[in-house]
Structure 1
């Protein structure tokens, strides 16, 4: 059951931060650099599947191992590495096969993937430890 709670905590953190990033902070960055290949609105079902599945990976590879005693710093490192490799796979593939995929977008998006994943993993472990340690459990 604890894994479900970890998943839900991570999902909320990841989604909220990515929503702010994509919807406000970097919206113009992506629109200006990918305008010709970007949809007017995203396919929300596909996005939902990405968030749901990606966070499972984050919990499995970064958060759960850190909950076994390694702590939030290990979660941050493992999460950042997971994000780096996952986002690099997408961005490098997109850059290599899609006409008009901007290399700056590939670099920025890969860095973003590492940052948001590392932060989400660390914050999830920190919050979970605060909840369970505070509850005596």
Structure 2
């Protein structure tokens, strides 16, 4: 259990850093354009509800540690961790984006696919990072 807690605590800043680079630096304009009236924008920046964002960043690595890492094959670490992590990202981001697509008027299809692909990458990369770091966290 202590090992899982260490891995979880290692995944938190990694996930947050990757998502920050993606959302705030690389794709900020894309998300502002795609979200339009749905976005909480002040000036030229999307301002999240911080407590809700904190819950997301606490839950995403928790899901990876509890549900994905146990499936990773240590003998094929790179392929296994990237594949299982990407599948987890597809499920989590897919549920979010497709729920929005089903329930919100004019939810942008382009953003759905970009966001799902990002979720696959983010969760795959985080799973790989956690699996690769795991032996050193014993």
Question: Does TM-score exceed 0.5, indicating one fold?
Answer: yes
Corresponding residue of 1:43: 49
* Residue of structure 2 equivalent to 1:21: 22
User: What secondary structure, in the 3-state scheme, does the structure 2 residue paired with 1:100 have?
Assistant: coil
In structure 2, distance between residues paired with 1:72 and 1:63: 12
Aligned residues: 132
| Unmatched tracts of structure 2, length 5 or more | 42-46
Q: Which sits farther off after the overlay, 14-23 or 31-40? A: 31-40
Q: How far apart, CA to CA, are the structure 1 residues paired with 2:70 and 2:9?
A: 13
Give the TM-score normalised by structure 2.
0.88
> What is the Cα-based RMSD across aligned positions, in Å?
1.7
Give, in angstroms, the shift of residue 49 of structure 1: 0.5
- Equivalent-residue separation in structure 2 for 1:88 and 1:78 (angstroms): 15
When normalised by structure 1's length, the TM-score is 0.88
Q: Is the 8 A contact 1:61 1:78 kept in 2?
A: no
- Cα distance, 1:95 vs structure 2: 1.1
Alignment partner, residue 54 of structure 1: 60
Instruction: State the distance in 2 between where 1:11 and 1:74 align.
Output: 21
1:69 CA displacement: 5.9
